[in-house]
């Protein structure tokens, strides 16, 4: 099943399981989702459960916050992460604050799901990865599945969670295929990273699409250089499973953090900070970071490819960390 189908299955199962769950967002109904994640759900559950909205991110994200405060389980789709900037105040200054600011008297079990990522020449305004900003906000939880099984398991865990959760999906991997547990109660635990590939020479830490790339690179390095890279797929950015990352680095003594976003002040900065602190005596080389070149992403395919953290750049970073070449 594809990553897209896994998300759809998660939505269908939760819509079926819990009357309080409903979807809301631009084009989720009649159009069946800008990226077809919600295809068929309007027909199956009707317009009260699958609600098309005007283009009003601030309005309907906030509406999700309010509905959640009353105990509903809104699952709000934002067409791409870039547009969440418009609802920033509702997410950071409202959803994230509800429970603590009101002394624990009310909760806000909203789920916001949206794809991040670049590629396909979508240019500067449509190719960004801001998930680190949300992961840095107490009160929020941030998940980022990298494969179909986790897409289903994490989205379901998010919907059942009692706190506001941002589920960051990824455009390029909507079509990726993989095994997906059909058990309707299968959940991926929040706050648990996964060792996506065991290895002994170096640890690649990543999330979302960067994990897919990291796995490809690990494969190549095994063949080309006999280097066995361990790939830790974070899956959850807040809570962040530093424990699993540290265990791996203690074993490999080297780490390369890969992300699709801009590394400076990004997710990989936090990872490097945590690793150097948790594994200070175990590191044989500085923690390396690879991500998007720090420019607003240009349209030209040639420039876009060069700017993105592709296999070549990741591989070069790993070899550099290993002192090879």
Partner 1 sequence: MPRTLSRSKPAAAKSKPAAKPAAVEPVSAEALATRLAQFEQMCLIRDFEEEAERQYKAARIGGYCHLSSGQEAITVGAVDSMREQDVLVTGYRCHGFALARGVPPQAVMAELFGRRDGCAHGRGGSMHLLDASRGFFGGWGIVAGQLPVATGLALGLVRRRRTAAVLCELGDGAVNMGAWHESLNLASLWQLPIVYLVVNNEYGMGTSVSRASAEPEAFRRAAAFRMHGERVDGDDLDAVLEAAGRLLSIARSERRPAVLEALTYRYRGHSVADAGLAYRTREEIATRRAHDPIDRVAARLAEMGAEEAELTQARERSAQAVAEAVSFAEQSPEPELAALAEGVYAKGSVAQFERMRPGSPFGERELVFDAGLGR
Ligand X SMILES: Cc1ncc(C[n+]2csc(CCOP(=O)(O)OP(=O)(O)O)c2C)c(N)n1
Minimum CB distance to partner 1 smaller for 2 or for 121:
121
Residue 22, binding choice from ligand X, partner 1, a second copy, none, Cβ under 5 to 8 Å by partner class:
partner 1
Q: State which residue, 14 or 57, has the beta carbon closest to ligand X.
A: 57
| Residue 26 binding ligand X, by CB under 6 A | yes
Of 231, 111, 122, 112, which Cα lies nearest the Cα of 172? 122
Q: How many CB atoms lie within 10 A of CB 47?
A: 11
Backbone angles phi, psi at 232, to 5 degrees: -100, 115
**β-strands 194-197, 229-233 pairing:** antiparallel
Q: Does residue 285 belong to the site contacting ligand X (CB under 6 A)?
A: no
The residue from 67, 110, 287, 308 that contacts a second copy (CB under 8 A) is 287
135 contact, one of ligand X, partner 1, a second copy, none, CB 5-8 Å limit per kind: a second copy
Q: Counting contacts by CB under 8 A, is residue 68 touching partner 1?
A: yes
Does 254 bind partner 1 (CB under 8 A)? Our answer is no
- As measured in angstroms, the least distance from the Cβ of 153 to ligand X is 28
Is residue 169 within the footprint of ligand X (CB under 6 A)?
Answer: no
Question: For the window 235-264, what string marks contact with a second copy as x by the rule CB under 8 A?
Answer: ---x-x---------------------x-x
Q: Which does 69 bind (CB under 5 to 8 A by kind): partner 1, a second copy, ligand X, none?
A: partner 1
> Does residue number 186 form part of the binding site for ligand X (CB under 6 A)?
no
Q: What does the alpha-carbon distance between residue 127 and residue 123 come to, in Å, rounded to a whole number?
A: 6
- Distance between alpha carbon 53 and the CA centroid of its chain, in Å? 24
Shortest Cβ 310–ligand X spacing (Å): 26
Question: From CA 270, how far away is CA 257, in angstroms rounded?
Answer: 10
Identify residues 48-67 at the interface with ligand X (CB under 6 A): 55, 57
Question: Could you report how far apart the first and last alpha carbons of the chain are, in Å?
Answer: 39
Contact pick of 1, 58, 72, 83 for ligand X (by CB under 6 A): 83
Contact present, 141 and 238 (Cβ < 8 Å):
yes
Q: Does the annotation mark 57 as catalytic?
A: yes
> How far, in Å, are 35, 191, 236, 283 from residue 157 at the CA level?
22, 11, 11, 34
User: Between 133 and 162, how does the x/- string for binding to a second copy read (CB under 8 A)?
Assistant: x-xxxxx-----------------------
Q: How far apart are CA 20 and CA 159, in angstroms?
A: 10
Taking the complex as a whole, the smallest distance from the CB of residue 41 to partner 1 amounts, in Å, to 14
Q: Measured from the CB of residue 115, what is the shortest distance to partner 1 in angstroms?
A: 14
State the angle between helix axes of 267-278 and 242-252 in degrees (0 to 180), rounded to the nearest 10: 60
Q: Which of 13, 204, 36 is nearest to 115 (CA)?
A: 36
**Residue 27 annotated to the active site:** no
User: Three-class SS of residue 235?
Assistant: coil
Which of 16, 31, 40, 224 binds partner 1 (CB under 8 A)? It is 31
Distance CA 152, CA 180 (A): 7
Distance of closest approach, residue 38 Cβ to partner 1, in angstroms: 12
Q: How far is the CB of 125 from ligand X (least distance, A)?
A: 8
Q: Please select the residue that binds ligand X; options are 1, 39, 86, 278, rule is CB under 6 A.
A: 86
> What is the residue-wise DSSP string for 162-186?
SS-EEEEEEGGGTT-B------TT-
Q: Which of residues 131-150 bind partner 1 (CB under 8 A)?
A: 138-139, 141
In the numeric block, the tokens 């009353």 are attached to 70
Q: Please, are residues 190 and 236 in contact by the beta-carbon 8 Å criterion?
A: yes
User: Which active-site residues does the annotation give?
Assistant: 57, 126
């Amino acid at each position: 099943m594809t990553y897209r189908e896994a998300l759809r299955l998660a939505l269908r199962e939760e819509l079926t399981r819990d009357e309080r769950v409903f979807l809301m967002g631009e084009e989720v109904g009649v159009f069946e989702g800008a990226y077809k994640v919600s295809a068929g759900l309007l027909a199956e559950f009707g317009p009260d459960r699958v609600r098309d909205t005007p283009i009003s991110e601030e309005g309907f994200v906030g509406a999700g916050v309010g509905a959640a405060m009353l105990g509903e389980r809104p699952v709000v789709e934002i067409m791409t992460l870039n547009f969440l900037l418009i609802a920033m105040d509702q997410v950071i200054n409202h959803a994230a604050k509800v429970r603590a600011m009101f002394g624990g008297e009310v909760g806000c079990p909203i789920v916001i799901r949206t794809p991040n990522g670049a590629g396909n020449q979508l240019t500067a305004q449509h190719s960004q990865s801001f998930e680190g900003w949300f992961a840095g906000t107490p009160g929020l939880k941030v998940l980022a599945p990298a494969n179909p099984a986790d897409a289903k398991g994490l989205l379901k865990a998010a919907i059942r969670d009692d706190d506001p959760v941002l589920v960051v999906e990824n455009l390029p991997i909507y079509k990726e295929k993989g095994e997906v547990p059909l058990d309707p109660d299968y959940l991926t635990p929040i706050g648990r990273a996964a060792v996506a590939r065991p290895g002994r020479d170096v640890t690649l830490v990543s999330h979302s699409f960067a994990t897919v790339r990291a796995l490809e690179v690990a494969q190549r390095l095994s063949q080309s250089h006999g280097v066995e890279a361990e790939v830790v797929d974070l899956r959850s950015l807040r809570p962040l499973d530093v424990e699993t990352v540290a265990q791996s680095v203690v074993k490999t003594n080297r780490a390369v953090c890969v992300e699709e976003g801009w590394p400076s002040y990004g997710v990989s900065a936090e990872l490097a900070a945590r690793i150097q602190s948790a594994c200070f005596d175990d590191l044989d080389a500085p923690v390396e970071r690879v991500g998007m070149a720090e420019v607003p992403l240009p349209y030209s395919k040639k420039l876009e490819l060069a700017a993105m953290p592709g296999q070549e750049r990741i591989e070069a970073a790993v070899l550099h960390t290993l002192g090879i070449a």
